[in-house]
Amino acid sequence: SEIPFTEKELKTISPLFNSSKLLLGKEANEENIKSLDLKKYEIISFATHAEVAGEFDGFNEPFLVMTPPNSGTENNDGLITSSEISEFDLNTKLIILSACNTASKENKYAEGFTGLINSFFIAGADSIIATHWPVEDEAGYLLMTETLV
């Protein structure tokens, strides 16, 4: 409910995909995503919150925010970190990261892509749409739907 245009965005672009599994609200949690055979999806889109490394105390790597569980576990704490993403087994043509600062470098000295972008490449993604800036919810919806539809 905090970012209402994400659901509209995903429902608008999902018909473009050959095979789709739409996870919204409580279903869009870390445990469900990790249980999927992600290798069978050519395009994967995340419309959510993201944070860069060092933004919060205790978090030294970037992460995507999923729907948090009532009680966190090691496999489902509500965050998919860069290191967890790098362990995914993907055969994906395109990853869409519709969230703030998903292409941000880990630090000003980092060369090329680091953080979330690099993790998806390590996991097997061919290409990625990401942002270098904070994205307001409705603006993210417009950007992605106008680009893809």
Give me the tens of pLDDT residue by residue for the chain, a chain 149 residues long: 689 999 999 999 999 888 789 999 999 999 999 999 999 999 999 999 998 887 777 778 899 999 998 898 888 899 999 999 999 999 999 999 999 888 876 656 555 556 899 999 999 999 999 988 888 999 999 999 999 88
Place of tokens 């933004």: 55
- Type and span of the H or E element at 143: helix 137-148
Give dist(CA 98, CA 139) in Å, integer: 10
Which tokens belong to 132?
A: 């270098």
Q: What is the pTM of this model?
A: 0.89
Give dist(CA 47, CA 93) in Å, integer: 17
Place of tokens 């919204």: 24
Count CB atoms within 10 A of the CB of residue 107: 11
DSSP strands (E only) in the chain: 43-47, 49-51, 63-65, 79-81, 94-98, 128-129
The pLDDT value recorded for residue 13 is 94
Cα 53 to Cα 20, 64, 132: the distances in Å are 30, 11, 14
Which tokens belong to 72?
A: 């966190």
